Structure formats: structure tokens, C-alpha cells
Amino acid sequence: MILFDSPLLPHLIVQSLQSHEDEPCIFLAGRIASYREIRERTSQMIQVLQSVGMTQGTRLAVLSKNRPEVLTNLTASLVNGNIITPLHPLGSLSDHSYIIKDAEIECLVFDSEYFGDRATELKKQYPHIKFLGFGPNSVGIDYMAEADRFSPKPLTPPVIGAEDLCTVVYTGGTTGRPKGVLQTQRVWQSMTWIQMTEWEFPKEIRIAIATPLSHAAMTLLAPVLLSGGAFYVMDSFNPDDFYDLVAEQKITCTLIVPSMLYALQGHPRYETADMSSMETIIYGASPMSPSKLSQAIRHWGKIFFQFYGQTEAPMVLAHLKKADHDPDDLSILASCGKPVSWMHVELLDEDNQPVERGQTGEICTRGPLVTIGYKDMPAETAGALSGDWLHTSDVGRFDEHGFLHIVDRTKDMVITGGFNVYPREVEDVLSSHKSVASVMVIGVPDEKWGEAVKALVVLRPGITPSEELVVELKTMVKEAKGSQQSPKSIDFIDALPLTALGKPDKKAARSKYWTSTERAVS
């Protein structure tokens, strides 16, 4: 019933933009844009979207490096009622092309400076869709210049329901093709509620955005705006610029992946940089090295907050709060904290029954964060949601204090520097090389990236291993799938390890690299 409908993400965006006037909202082009300016710019961009036929329920993809316009396009797209799909800025042409087709994209918003060539290639394949560029371009409309032609109007949220689709976010598939995770308005509403209740944001939020906005913006937009906070967007992450930004703008909060902390710790300014304004460092996407985290806590204090989730139930399934970051307890630092009270989280066996405390089981969840499934993939959806649980494919255990420890993955995904790499996709590329007989791709421990992609390659008879071949194979993957999926190392072996049934045994292959660690993933 409409009587009991609660505000959804577009309502929250409109409310927050209307609740403030001259307070700082987004740092752009060397200055701070106020909430009033962002509200007006959102209206102008909505009018551009509507002028090219992007009405409520139409599907829009975004391909951009970090820039403030990604945020204003997001506020406009949400308030306009569009269904949003982010494209990874490191993705290949084939990946972007597949997602645009599979997601039934009707408009591509792109960074003209960095992705003009990619947009040109995509337009050849999809001449029927609209192209809006952040700046002048030869492919479509200059989004920003076109927005200047419109006068701002009051913002009005769309008429939507909690089960209406909000986003389609792609994750790798066991079949070798990405899966479109269907996230309803309910998912984003629930995540915002949990963040506002549980996450330990500073009272005054000045947040540095150093991770890719294409995927991070949706997770932070509502809680920061509702709190009257301000975004400071970095073009890309490097320690010098990060330290400068924190000191100059008195940054109080940021979100990073573990490899970013490692880079900050390894930088000459680590000991001397002014981080006195920083109150909360939120981290996740892949587990942190407990020893490196302990060092950072001793250096900067208990300002760290960890989150755990996955695309199918994003960001807020569990968290490790600031007070729990005990630098003397590496076991707790190796955990992902405790499950939130707003979701059911259980460790289940193969019969969907809870395991005994202290035993390992698959981390499963149910509640308002859970996806409704994968786009046009009924078999995969049924498997992921079997028994009325979302099966995360992460294997975990609870310790005696209730902290959740992830010890393995039932799937073979590698998380490197916060990015998901799906071995099957890399294997498909490598196995196409004329010199390769068979290949297995696994994740191995890496001090900088958490996990690194390693390829185990069996060569065809008569082929001799060489450094030139290593470079050639790495380049193949980089060109086909993007640099984040290219193997950091390649080992040439005589034969792949096999199970008793003759299947490739990745567990056996990984074991020799993980024997000195406490868990089977990093």
C-alpha cells in the first residue's frame, strides 16, 4: 500500500539536496560547489537526459575515470528514475560491448577525455544508443554544454516502488560471461539505512574519494549527502596527492582498498604526513593484511572501519568497528567483524543447515539487501538463491567472540587490489595462444595487492619457455580483459594437478602458495 511506502534512494537524494544551500557539497575544478549548485546542476542534467529520450525506467551505462561529474550524473540519473549500469574503467572493449548489449543499454555517459576512442568503437557496434560525453566529443552530445542550456527546476523524485529495478551491476560468471546482478530500490534503501545506523562516519564528513567512482559512488552518495557532507574526488590514487589532499582540505574520512593502505605505508611521507584531521578510514573489497593493519593502527590510531559484502548483497553484511581494531590481536584484525543486526547471516552446510559454532560453512544471508537474481540467467539465479538463502560462495567460521572469519572461497574468484578477477575469463584468453596446451589461473598471496593473479601454463610439445613468451601471454590478457586481469606471474609446468575425477584441482594448486598463511584467501 502507498500509505506505508518509505522513502527510496531518489527521494533521499532530493531531500538531502534540498536540505542544504550554501554548505560545501563537491570539490571540483579547484573550488567547492555548494548543495544549491549541485541541486541546480542535477536538474539541468535531468533535462538533458529527458531531451534525448531517457525517461523513467530507461537504461543508462557510465564509463569514466574519477571526476566530479560522475556524482552529478548519478544524482540526475537516480532522480530521473533511470536504471544504471557502471562500466569498469579498466575493462576491455569486448567486456564493455557485452555488457551494453546484455543490459539493454539505451544511453552511454562517458568521459570524453579518456574514453572518447572507446565510445567511438562502441558507437560502431551500437549506433542506435545515445552518447553523452563529459565535455566536447565527436561521438555524441556534450553533456555539460547541453546542460548549460537549461534553466534549473525544482527536483521531483520519480514514482517508484521498492521492488523496481535501480541498478544492474556486472560480476564474473562461471560460464565465462559476466552476470548482471539485479539490484532493486529496496537494496539501496536498506544499505543506506544500515550505513546511517552502523557505519562510524565523522560528525563532519569531508570524504576523499580515491577508489573508482564508477563503482564506489552509489555506495557513499546517500549517507554522505544525508549527513550534509562534502565529496573530494581524486582523479586517481597516489600517496603524494592523497597526503596533500588530507592536509589541505582537512579530510575527515575516506574509503580505500588494502593495496592503497600498503602504498601509503610504503611512501616516504608515511611517518611525517599530516593525517591529524582523519577520523575514519573505511576499508574493504578484499581482506587486509593483519600485520600491516596493526602497524597502521599504532601509527594513526583506531580510525579504521571494515565492511564486508558482495555485489549480490552489497557492502554491509558485516563490519569490524573502530573499537575492535586491537593492534595486539591479529586474529580479530584478520576477521571481517560481526554480522549486522539487520540481516540474517548463517554458516550453512551442503544441506542448507547451520553448522556448529567454530566449524566452517558457507556464508549465507537473507534479508532486504539480497538481489532478486541475475539478468536472464534463471539457472544461476536458482543456484545462488537456493533454499531461500543467498549463497555467497565464501566459506567462513565464527570464533568464540562472534567474529566472522573468511577462510576460503567455493568459487575461484581472485580479489587483487580490490578488483575482482575471474580465472575462467583469463584462462579462456591464455588457452587461445598457439603455444599453450592447458592453463590454470589462481590467486596467490601478494604483499601489495592482497592476492595476485598467477597463471600455471602447460606448453605444447616442442615449445620452450622464454621471457618473450611470458610478456606475450601477459599482453594478450591485458588487451583482451584489461590490465587488472593480466597475470602478475606465469609458471610453466609439466601438467596441471587433477582431482580423482580428472578435473583441474585448483585447491591443490593453490595450497603450495598459501601454506605460510592463516587462511586460504588474502
pLDDT in tens, 280-299: 999 988 767 788 899 999 99
Number of domains in the chain: 3
Q: What are phi and psi of 354, to 5 degrees?
A: -60, 140
**CATH number of the domain bearing residue 150:** 3.40.50.12780
Computed over every residue of the chain, the mean pLDDT equals: 91
352-359 LR contacts (CB < 8 Å, sep 24+): 352/386, 352/387, 352/389, 357/398, 357/400, 358/397, 358/398, 358/399, 358/400, 359/397
Are 234 and 254 in contact by the 8 Å Cβ rule? The answer is no
Residue 78 lies inside a defined structural domain of this protein: yes
According to DSSP, the β-strands at 419-421 and 390-398 are unpaired
Confidence at 481, pLDDT banded by 50, 70, 90: confident
Instruction: State the Cα–Cα distance between residues 71 and 77, nearest whole angstrom.
Output: 10
If asked whether residues 43 and 140 sit together in one domain, one would say yes
Q: Which of 87-101, 130-144, 252-266, 457-471 has maximum average pLDDT?
A: 130-144
Are 321 and 305 in contact by the 8 Å Cβ rule? The answer is yes
pLDDT score recorded for residue 503:
60
Structural domain containing residue 347: 283-409
Are 181 and 171 in contact by the 8 Å Cβ rule? The answer is yes
Residue 324 lies inside a defined structural domain of this protein: yes
3-state secondary structure of 5: coil
Q: Kindly tell me if the per-residue pLDDT of 229 is higher than 90.
A: yes
**CATH number of the domain bearing residue 428:** 3.30.300.30
If asked whether residues 44 and 175 sit together in one domain, one would say yes
Confidence at 411, pLDDT banded by 50, 70, 90: low
Residue 424 lies inside a defined structural domain of this protein: yes
Confidence at 257, pLDDT banded by 50, 70, 90: confident
Which of 409, 434, 451 marks a domain boundary? 409
Which of 409, 443, 460 marks a domain boundary? 409
Q: What are phi and psi of 445, to 5 degrees?
A: -60, 145
Residue 261 lies inside a defined structural domain of this protein: no
Q: Which of 152-161, 213-222, 353-362 has maximum average pLDDT?
A: 152-161
**CATH number of the domain bearing residue 331:** 2.30.38.10
If asked whether residues 58 and 171 sit together in one domain, one would say yes
If asked whether residues 209 and 302 sit together in one domain, one would say no
Cell of 35: 548543495
Residue 273 lies inside a defined structural domain of this protein: no
Instruction: State the Cα–Cα distance between residues 272 and 111, nearest whole angstrom.
Output: 36
If asked whether residues 470 and 394 sit together in one domain, one would say no
Question: Smallest Cα–Cα separation from 345: which of 361, 360, 362, 363?
Answer: 363
Instruction: State the Cα–Cα distance between residues 250 and 234, nearest whole angstrom.
Output: 15
If asked whether residues 397 and 441 sit together in one domain, one would say no
3-state secondary structure of 290: helix
Residue 265 lies inside a defined structural domain of this protein: no
Instruction: State the Cα–Cα distance between residues 146 and 51, nearest whole angstrom.
Output: 10
What lies within 8 Å, CB to CB, of 24 at 6+ separation is 32, 33, 34, 206, 230
Cα 59–Cα 227–Cα 152 angle in degrees, nearest 5: 50
If asked whether residues 453 and 324 sit together in one domain, one would say no
Residue 253 lies inside a defined structural domain of this protein: no
Instruction: State the Cα–Cα distance between residues 361 and 387, nearest whole angstrom.
Output: 15
Which of 380, 409, 438 marks a domain boundary? 409
Question: Smallest Cα–Cα separation from 258: which of 290, 218, 280, 215?
Answer: 290
Cα–Cα separations (whole angstroms), residue 328 to 280, 324, 499, 502:
20, 11, 40, 45
Confidence at 499, pLDDT banded by 50, 70, 90: low
Condensed to tens digits (0 to 9), the pLDDT of residues 379-402 reads: 999 999 999 999 999 889 999 999
What lies within 8 Å, CB to CB, of 425 at 6+ separation is 172, 176, 481, 485
Cα–Cα separations (whole angstroms), residue 438 to 8, 459, 494, 496:
49, 7, 10, 8
Q: Kindly tell me if the per-residue pLDDT of 62 is higher than 90.
A: yes
If asked whether residues 232 and 287 sit together in one domain, one would say no
If asked whether residues 98 and 198 sit together in one domain, one would say yes
Confidence at 448, pLDDT banded by 50, 70, 90: confident
Q: Kindly tell me if the per-residue pLDDT of 484 is higher than 90.
A: no
What lies within 8 Å, CB to CB, of 487 at 6+ separation is 426, 441, 453, 454, 455, 473, 474, 477
pTM over 0.95: no
Cα–Cα separations (whole angstroms), residue 256 to 5, 74, 218, 278, 380:
34, 21, 15, 13, 31
The pLDDT > 90 percentage for the chain reads 71
Task: Name the β-bridge partners of 498.
Answer: 504
